[in-house]
Amino acid sequence: MGRLSDKWDRSKVLIISFVTLALSLFFLARNSYTLGVFGVLFGSVQRLTSQILSVACIADIVPKKILGTAIGLLNLLFGLKERGSPL
């Protein structure tokens, strides 16, 4: 995914990620086991894509001096999000 976002514009890959999220939510909203499985698969792909793109965008924006701190804070936020997701 990182190579794809380097080859294409990051915004195009981010749009693909959002479309994948929309498909995931659409499939999960249906009352079907098979579509639910596809929803979980699409959701997993979207989560992976958004995490990779977030780190790449931060690396482009943040000064090198505080890059480690910025990525650490991003990982903290992702961890808090994952901790609260079962609720």
* pLDDT band with cut points at 50, 70 and 90 for residue 72: very high
Q: What are phi and psi of 38, to 5 degrees?
A: -65, -35
**CA gyration radius for the chain?**
15
Asked if 46 and 20 count as a contact pair (C-beta separation under 8 A), the reply is yes
Looking at residue 6, its amino acid is D
* pLDDT band with cut points at 50, 70 and 90 for residue 46: confident
If one compares 12 and 26, the residue with the highest pLDDT of the two is: 26
pTM of the complete model beyond 0.75? no
